[in-house]
């Protein structure tokens, strides 16, 4: 065995790679469980790809067969129900994990210099994931699948001049139909592999800049510990907790995230009473509907997703450690999280009366959080420096400020 | 996600193993109602006669229920869709997934079947589904107290059966689920102690 490894090592950096990137990879010892969600996301991606490959063996991407083939999987394929519920619940689990991962990044300011590219590759992953989930939702060919795809592809009508042509081009016809289903199936199978490649890029960026840590200071070498066995076991324990919650839903409440209307086959002649997207799109859907004009709503929704990429520039404070030493930023973070839940609630209900106003206020708070941040963060920086910080954090902040002013 | 679903999530996390299941006798009574009444107009195209064997019917009983139809045949409505369209001006929906296709599931079906009443104009209407085209097949609107009780029992039975039909693997799923969750709880406890042990090395 050792001889074979030695033979490989002369030709390919196998041992070096495993040591450098996995076993000996230096990791801050103070990482909390909030840092385990990236690993969980990678694990869910694997679950989705594996279950998806098996589903594709039995699924028929044909508008006259798709709905029946899902029931064939549920009733006749051995453990087909398990594979399908792992996959349908896995989609929700993926977003739950990724949103937590993003919330941790925002709370601890992990997007800050020098981790901008790490954050942006993550932003790209989020977009790929959203596209994949959206296309996958069409495949069961239920009422919500069909009308969800109709509503979302319709948004591209907002494109200047070529709106109608783009919508027709996306759908492969004038309405969502068989050509839409076949292309969504094809791309839904492709995109996870793009995500897989993008995860590799995300990890290369991570291993270049290394993990941030909750203290906000760059740790001395002695405070970095090898990834294995300390974080392999910590992540595995976190995975155990995750699996318990995930499998409770899969086995005992598998219809939790499947809208009742999606158990009715797609019917182009009959619009459901209320078209509601999956929960993970609800806050963005609420923003879309809170702007009265279609083009304005689409632009607002697109910005609401993309604006996270601007965080390294919007946050102008040089005080490290994220929300930990920054009371105003911390308050903004919690208001933002609550606001997202409020928008999610609004997105799930018809926009009428009070709820419409709540949606508009929620949308305003969403964007104001980002727009006020450049001013608030600079003011807060002066405030916390005057108030006093732990010496190591203050030293880092003052060094960054001095560097920045030296450059001016 | 509706409030019902949110409540469902909380409930499922609190009492994951205490899932109730309809008793076999009720499901069998419900199957008879489905075959003898509902199936006249409604198909249950994802349910086959052979599936009744899993409910505890004997082969002879299923043979009596299926008549001339094959054991592997699905429960297709006895009326042709074209005739139904002429008679009701709609094709009655397939019932295989009805318990999943309506918010409220089996409770919705029960309320709909028992929701017929005679309105002020002397016409039959439905509390749950205004404008319904389905006739009051059990004639609950005209029933006396005893008849009403009997119909309510039939509605309960057939709702339980339709819930089973929409998710025939539910029992198997919950049984397997108890073992899987038990395994993961045990594994996670072990991982927790292993984690504590390994991290102790750091002092």
pLDDT digits (tens, 9 = 90+) for B129-139: 998 999 999 99
CB contact under 8 A, B97 and A241: no
Average pLDDT over every residue of A74-92: 98
CB contact under 8 A, B168 and A241: no
Residues 6+ apart with CB under 8 A from A291: A297, A300, A363
Interface of A with B (CB under 8 A): 29, 71, 74-75, 81-82, 85, 225, 229-230, 233-234, 236-237, 240-241, 243-245, 247-258, 260-261, 263-264, 279, 282, 348
At residue A131, the pLDDT reads 98
Top-confidence residue, B20 or A38: A38
Asked if residue A407 has pLDDT above 70, the reply is no
In the residue annotation, A207 being an active-site residue is answered as yes
pLDDT confidence of A274, banded at 50, 70, 90?
confident
Average pLDDT over every residue of B31-51: 96
Asked if residue A13 has pLDDT above 50, the reply is yes
Name chain A contacts of B199, Cβ cutoff 8 Å.
230, 233-234
User: Among A245, A212, A215, which residue's Cα sits nearest to residue A325?
Assistant: A215
Asked if residue B107 has pLDDT above 60, the reply is yes
At residue A220, the pLDDT reads 79
Top-confidence residue, B76 or B13: B76
Average pLDDT over every residue of B94-109: 95
At residue B11, the pLDDT reads 52
Asked if residue B15 has pLDDT above 60, the reply is no
At residue B4, the pLDDT reads 57
Run of H or E residues at A26: strand A26-28
Instruction: Closest CB to B181: pick one of A85, A229, A244.
Output: A244
Residues 6+ apart with CB under 8 A from A147: A271, A272, A275
At residue B6, the pLDDT reads 58
Asked if residue A229 has pLDDT above 80, the reply is yes
Report ipTM for this prediction. 0.92
Asked if residue A160 has pLDDT above 80, the reply is yes
At residue A406, the pLDDT reads 78
Name chain A contacts of B174, Cβ cutoff 8 Å.
251-252
d(CA B16, CA A100): 24
The 8 Å CB, 24+ separation contacts for A152-161 are: A152/A277, A153/A180, A155/A288, A155/A294, A155/A298, A155/A301, A157/A294, A158/A294, A158/A295, A158/A297, A158/A298, A158/A299
Residue to substitute from B17, B184, B199, interface A, most A β-carbons within 10 A: B184
Residues 6+ apart with CB under 8 A from A356: A290
Asked if residue A188 has pLDDT above 60, the reply is yes
pLDDT confidence of A405, banded at 50, 70, 90?
confident
At residue A14, the pLDDT reads 94
Asked if residue B180 has pLDDT above 80, the reply is yes
At residue B1, the pLDDT reads 45
Asked if residue A351 has pLDDT above 90, the reply is no
SS (H, E, C) chain B: CCHHHHHHHHHHHHCCCCCCCCCHHHHHHHHHHHHHCHHHCCCEEEEEHHHHHHHCCCHHHHHHHHCCCCCCCEECCCCCHHHHHHHHCCCCCCCCCHHHHCCCCHHHHHHHHCCEEECCCCCEEECCCCCCCCCCCCCCCCCCHHHHHHHHHHHHHHHHHHHHHHCCCHHHHHHHHHHHHHHHHHHHHHHHHHHHHHHHCCC
Average pLDDT over every residue of B12-38: 75
What residue has token string 């297709």? Answer: B76
End-to-end CA separation in angstroms for chain B? 46
d(CA B122, CA B48): 40
**Nearest chain B residue to A144, by CA:** B101
Average pLDDT over every residue of A189-194: 98
Quote the mean pLDDT of chain B. 90
Instruction: Closest CB to B8: pick one of A240, A256, A282.
Output: A256
pLDDT confidence of A318, banded at 50, 70, 90?
very high
Which residues, listed in sequence order, are joined to residue A389 by a DSSP beta bridge? none
DSSP-assigned letter for residue A219: P
Map out the domains of chain A as residue ranges: 33-215+223-275, 277-408
User: Among A339, A247, A55, which residue's Cα sits nearest to residue B179?
Assistant: A247
At residue B81, the pLDDT reads 92
**Nearest chain B residue to A238, by CA:** B188
Average pLDDT over every residue of A232-256: 97
Catalytic residue chosen out of the listed positions A211, A212, A215, A290? A211
Burial (Cβ within 10 Å: 0-12, 13-18, ≥19) of residue A353: exposed
Asked if residue B202 has pLDDT above 60, the reply is yes
How far B104 CA sits from the closest chain A CA (Å)? 9
Top-confidence residue, A304 or A321: A304
Please tell us whether the domain made up of A33-215+223-275 is placed in CATH 3.40.50.720: no
pLDDT confidence of A376, banded at 50, 70, 90?
very high
Quote the mean pLDDT of chain A. 95
DSSP-assigned letter for residue A173: S
Average pLDDT over every residue of B74-99: 94
d(CA A302, CA A152): 12
pLDDT confidence of B10, banded at 50, 70, 90?
low
pLDDT confidence of A237, banded at 50, 70, 90?
very high
Q: pLDDT for A44-68, tens place per residue?
A: 999 999 999 999 999 999 999 999 9
In the residue annotation, A278 being an active-site residue is answered as yes
User: Among A402, A217, A401, A245, which residue's Cα sits nearest to residue A320?
Assistant: A217
User: Among B83, B143, B79, B75, which residue's Cα sits nearest to residue B113?
Assistant: B143
Tally of CA atoms within 13 A in the half-sphere of A241 that contains its CB? 12
Strand B44-48 and strand B74-75: the pairing is antiparallel
pLDDT confidence of A247, banded at 50, 70, 90?
very high
d(CA A242, CA A38): 12
pLDDT confidence of A284, banded at 50, 70, 90?
very high
User: Among A59, A61, A184, which residue's Cα sits nearest to residue A131?
Assistant: A184
Query: In percent, how much of chain A has pLDDT > 90?
Result: 90
Do the beta carbons of residue B102 and residue B108 sit within 8 Å?
A: yes
For residue B45, give Cα distances in angstroms to A145, B21, B72: 21, 24, 11
**Nearest chain B residue to A281, by CA:** B1
CATH architecture of B21-114+151-168: Orthogonal Bundle (1.10)
Phi and psi at B116, nearest 5°, equal: -75, 140
At residue B26, the pLDDT reads 95
At residue B7, the pLDDT reads 55
């Amino acid at each position: 065995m050792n001889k074979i490894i030695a033979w490989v090592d002369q030709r390919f950096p196998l041992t070096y790679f495993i040591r450098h990137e996995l076993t000996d990879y230096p990791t801050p010892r103070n990482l909390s469980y909030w840092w385990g969600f990236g690993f969980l996301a990678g694990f869910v991606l694997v679950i989705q790809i594996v279950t998806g490959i098996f589903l594709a063996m039995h699924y028929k991407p044909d508008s006259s067969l798709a709905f029946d083939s899902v029931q064939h999987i549920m009733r006749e394929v051995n453990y087909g129900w398990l594979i399908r519920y792992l996959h349908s619940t896995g989609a929700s689990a993926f977003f739950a994990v990724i949103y937590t991962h993003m919330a941790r990044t925002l709370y601890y300011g992990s997007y800050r210099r020098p981790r901008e590219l790490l954050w942006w590759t993550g932003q790209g992953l989020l977009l790929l994931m959203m596209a994949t989930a959206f296309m996958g939702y069409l495949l069961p060919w239920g009422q919500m699948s069909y009308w969800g795809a109709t509503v979302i592809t319709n948004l591209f009508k907002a494109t200047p001049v070529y709106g109608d042509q783009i919508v027709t081009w996306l759908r492969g016809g004038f309405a969502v139909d068989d050509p839409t289903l076949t292309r969504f199936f094809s791309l839904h199978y492709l995109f996870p592999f793009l995500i897989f490649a993008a995860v590799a890029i995300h990890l290369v960026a991570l291993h270049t800049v290394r993990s941030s840590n909750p203290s906000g200071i760059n740790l001395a070498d002695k405070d970095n510990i090898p990834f294995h066995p300390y974080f392999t076991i910590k992540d595995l324990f976190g995975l155990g907790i995750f699996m318990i919650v995930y499998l409770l839903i899969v086995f005992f409440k598998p219809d939790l995230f499947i809208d009742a209307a999606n158990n009715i086959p797609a019917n182009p002649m009959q619009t459901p009473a209320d078209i509601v997207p999956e929960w993970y799109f609800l806050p963005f859907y609420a923003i879309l509907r809170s702007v009265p004009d279609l083009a304005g709503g689409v632009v607002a929704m697109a910005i609401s997703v993309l604006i996270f990429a601007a965080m390294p520039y919007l946050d102008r404070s040089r005080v490290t450690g994220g929300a930990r030493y920054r009371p105003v930023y911390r308050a903004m973070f919690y208001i933002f999280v609550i606001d997202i839940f409020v928008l999610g609630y609004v997105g799930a209900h018809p926009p009428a009366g009070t709820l419409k106003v709540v949606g508009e206020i929620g949308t305003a708070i969403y964007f104001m959080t980002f727009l006020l941040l450049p001013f608030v963060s600079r003011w807060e920086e002066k405030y916390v420096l005057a108030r006093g910080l732990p010496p190591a954090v203050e030293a880092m902040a003052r060094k960054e400020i001095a560097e920045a002013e030296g450059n001016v | 996600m509706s409030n019902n679903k949110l409540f469902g999530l909380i409930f499922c996390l609190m009492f994951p193993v205490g899932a109730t299941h309809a008793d076999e006798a009720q499901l069998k009574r419900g199957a008879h109602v489905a075959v003898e009444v509902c199936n006249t107009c409604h198909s249950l195209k994802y349910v086959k006669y052979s599936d009744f064997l899993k409910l505890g019917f004997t082969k002879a009983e299923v043979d009596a229920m299926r008549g001339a139809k094959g054991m592997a045949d699905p429960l297709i409505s006895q009326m042709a869709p074209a005739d139904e369209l002429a008679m009701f001006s709609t094709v009655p929906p397939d019932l295989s997934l009805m318990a999943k296709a309506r918010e409220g599931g089996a409770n919705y079906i029960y309320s709909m079947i028992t929701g017929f009443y005679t309105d002020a104009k002397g016409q039959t209407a439905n509390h749950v589904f205004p404008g319904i085209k389905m006739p009051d097949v059990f004639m609950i609107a005209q029933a006396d107290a005893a008849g009403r009780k009997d119909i309510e029992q039939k509605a309960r039975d057939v709702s339980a059966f339709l819930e089973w039909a929409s998710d025939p693997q539910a029992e198997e799923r919950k049984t397997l689920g108890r073992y899987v969750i038990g395994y993961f709880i045990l594994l996670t406890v072990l991982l927790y102690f292993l984690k504590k042990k390994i991290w102790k090395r750091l002092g």
